[in-house]
Structure 1
Amino acid sequence: MFDYGFNSNSSSGSGYMSTFDPFPRSLQGFSDVLQGRPVVSQTLVLDAEMGELVKAPARVGKKGISETKALAALKSHSEAERRRRERINAHLATLRGFVPCSTEKMDKAKLLAAVISQVKELKRDALEACKGHLIPTADDEVKVETYFDGTKEGTLYFKASICCDYRPELLSDIRKAVDSLPLKMVNAEMSTLGSRLKNEFVFTNSRNKNSADDAEATQILTDSIHQALTSVLEKGIASPEYSPRTTLPNKKRMVTFFDSSSSSS
C-alpha cells in the first residue's frame, strides 16, 4: 500500500500531473466559459517531437482566396479603364487636328460637331475642285446630260459618263453598249484611279436646232443612253467572275478610248 501526498504549490507536483494529463490545457476554454469570457475556436494537432497537442497553424481559407481574386480583378479593371481613356484621348487629339485653330475650349460634343462640319466643307471643296476634271468617284453611277454647241446650226450633244470598278470585260461591254446607240460619238475619254474607272462620251444625233427642239425625241435618246450604260454597270455587279484583285495601276491617266470618227447607226 502506498501513501503519497500532493502539494499544489510545488513545481514537481505540477509536472507530475501534466505527465499523466493528456490535455493539460483543455480546461482553459471551460474556465473561460465559467468566467463569462468569449471562447475562440482553435484547432489542435499532435506534435510528434514534443508529444503534446499544439495549436494548428493558421491557413488561408476561401475567404482569403476570394479577397485576393477580387483585388486582382479590381486591378485588371483599373488598367483596362486607364487604357480605354488613353485611346479616347488619342482619338480626340486626332479629331482636334481636323478643326482649324480656335481659342474656344470645346467639350466632346462640340468637338465632334465641329469635325463633322469641317469634313463636309472639305468634301464640298473637293467636289468643286473636281469640276471640269475627269476623276473617278467612290460611287457607281451613270450620268447623261444634253447641251447645244452654240453655233448657228445648233447641234444637240449628249454628254454621258459611267463610273465603276474595273473588271476585265468592262471596256468590251462599254463598246458594245455604245455601238448599239443610234448616235454618232464625237469624243470619248477615260481615267482611272486605283481600281476605279470613269468613262465619258460625247454623242450627237446630227440634227439641226429646229428638229432638236422636239423634247420627247430628246428624252427618248437620253433614256436610251442611260439604259445602255446602266446595263453595263449592273452586269459588273452581278458578275460572279469579277474579282477585286484585278485592278489597274494606282494612278490617274487620260487616254482616248474610241476613234472620234467612228459611228453607229
Structure 2
Amino acid sequence: MGSGSFSISGSGSGSGSSLVLDGERGELVRAPAVRIGKKGGGKGGLLDEKAMIALRNHSEAERRRRERINSHLSVLRGMISGTDKLDKAALLAEVINHVKLLKTTATEHAKGYTIPSDTDEVTILCEPQPANTTNTSFLIRASICCDDSPELYPELKQSLQNLHARVVRAEISSLSGRVKIVFFIIPERGEGNGEMGRKILVDSVQHALRLALERVNSSMEFIPRDSLLNKRRRVSHFESSSSSS
C-alpha cells in the first residue's frame, strides 16, 4: 500500500484533519489540515487541495523509486549465486566483494600483456642483455601510450629512423581508441659504448618518442573525436629486424 493511499479524516465545525498511511515508514502520519470553506469554496480550501495533490505526487514518485531499486537488486541477486536470502545491505556487501575479486583476477590475467592506459605517456627502460644473444650489452625497452590515429605511425617511423639504433621488435595493442606500442631497441654497432654513450642513446630515444607524441596530439586537435573512436586495431604482435652490416 503506497504512501497516501489510505486516510482517516475527522471534521469539526470549520476544519478537518487527516491521518495518511506512509508506505515507506509503515505508520500513520498527519496530513495537512483540510479546511472547509464557506459555500462556494474559498482560498484556504484551494491551497489545501494543492497540498494534497503534491503529497500524492510525492508518494507516487517514491513508489516508483523503490520499484527501480528493487528491480536493480533483483538483477544483482541473479548475477551472484547464494544471495537469494540476503537483505539489501548484505547483498550490496557481497556485490562489492565480488567486484573486488573480479578486478584482482583481471589484473592477474593482464600481466604480461600490453594494455593501453588512459594517460598519454612515454616510458624508457634500459635492460641488460645476455652475452650470447646480441653484439650489445643492453637493450632499450621504450613504450608510448596515446590515442590511436593514422598520423601516429608515420611520426614514430620518422623519429626512430633518425636514431643510431635499430628496432628489433615491437608490440602493439589497442583498446577503446587507445594504443600502446612497445619498442625493443638496440644500438647500432659502435654506438652506445660506455655509460655515457648508453645515457645519450636512451635520452635520444625518449626525446624522439616525446616529439612524435607532441606532433600527433597537435594534429589530432582538428580531428573529430567520433572519427578517432572508429579507428580500432586488434591486439597484434610483430617482429622486425635488419641484417647487421
Q: Is the 8 A contact 2:166 2:188 kept in 1?
A: yes
Q: Which residue of 2 aligns with 1:166?
A: 148
Distance in 2 separating the partners of 1:106 and 1:220: 63
Taking structure 2 as the reference length, the TM-score comes to 0.64
Structure-to-structure mapping, 1:25-174, within 5 angstroms: 58-94=39-75, 101=82, 105=86, 108=89, 114-152=94-132, 155-174=137-156
Structure-to-structure mapping, 1:190-229, within 5 angstroms: 190-206=172-188, 214=195, 217-229=197-209
Q: Secondary structure at the match of 2:47?
A: helix
**Gap change, CA 1:154 and 1:235, over 3 Å in 2:** closer
Per-residue deviation, 1:73:
0.6
Q: Is the 8 A contact 1:136 1:191 kept in 2?
A: yes
Q: Which residue of 1 aligns with 2:21?
A: none
Higher mean displacement: 196-205 or 221-230: 221-230
Distance in 2 separating the partners of 1:165 and 1:230: 14
Q: Is the 8 A contact 1:156 1:207 kept in 2?
A: no
Distance in 1 separating the partners of 2:202 and 2:227: 32
Which amino acid is the alignment partner of residue 180 of structure 1? N
Q: Of the two, which has the highest radius of gyration?
A: 1
Taking structure 1 as the reference length, the TM-score comes to 0.60
| Runs of at least 5 residues in structure 2 that lack an aligned partner in the other structure | 1-37
Q: Structure with the greater relative contact order (CA < 8 A, sep ≥ 6): 1 or 2?
A: 1
Higher strand share: 2
Q: Is the 8 A contact 1:190 1:199 kept in 2?
A: yes
Per-residue deviation, residues 128-152 of structure 1 (Å, max 9, x unmatched)? 2122333434443323223233233
| Runs of at least 5 residues in structure 1 that lack an aligned partner in the other structure | 1-56
Per-residue deviation, 1:59:
0.8
Per-residue deviation, 1:164:
1.7
Q: Identity of aligned pairs, percent? A: 37
Q: Is the 8 A contact 2:173 2:233 kept in 1?
A: no
Determine if the alignment matches structure 1 residue 179 to structure 2 residue 161: yes
**RMSD of aligned alpha carbons:** 3.6
Q: Secondary structure at the match of 2:142?
A: strand
Q: Is the 8 A contact 2:127 2:138 kept in 1?
A: yes
**Gap change, CA 1:250 and 1:176, over 3 Å in 2:** closer
Per-residue deviation, residues 96-155 of structure 1 (Å, max 9, x unmatched)? 5676646884654x6555544543442332232122333434443323223233233663
Q: Is the 8 A contact 1:185 1:262 kept in 2?
A: no
